[in-house]
Amino acid sequence: MVELVHRFVHSLSGQLVFLPLVVSKFVDQIQAALGAFDGIVINPAAYTHTSVAILDALKAVAIPAVEVHISNIDARESFRQISYPGMACEKTIKGQGLDGYRQAIVYLHEKYRL
């Protein structure tokens, strides 16, 4: 999946989107994106429903961000309806499988001409 996303990004414009890959280091990776990347595509996984720290990091860097979930989290348990990181993202893509990452990249590319 990671290689697929990186190939698609490079086919558009080189360094377009930052994709956090190590869940335990989301906050550090988001902060490191400031000044280095023009957009963030994030799948916070189980941290979606629990991490105010990721929300705060996204708000602090103020980089356009899109939240991606492979499954449709709205069709799951009620506690999964809350997304703290999503509160700082301008778009959320749910239930599109791995294609959600491509959709997020295309969205940022078209909206910001990255």
Residue 69 near residue 92, CB atoms below 8 Å: yes
20-65: per-residue pLDDT in tens?
Answer: 555 567 888 899 889 988 889 999 988 899 889 999 999 999 999 9
CA torsion through residues 91, 27, 80, 104, sign: positive
**pLDDT at 5 (0 to 100):** 67
Domains by residue range for the chain, with CATH: 2-112 (3.40.50.9100)
pTM of the full structure = 0.83
- Token output for 6: 């990186």
CA distance 111 to 26: 24
* Amino acid identity for residue 113 in this structure: R
**pLDDT at 23 (0 to 100):** 56
**pLDDT at 1 (0 to 100):** 61
Model confidence at 68, pLDDT cuts 50, 70, 90, reads very high
Helix (H) or strand (E) holding 61, with range, is helix 52-61
**pLDDT at 60 (0 to 100):** 96
Cα 112 to Cα 17, 27, 65, 101, 109, distances in angstroms: 11, 24, 11, 17, 6
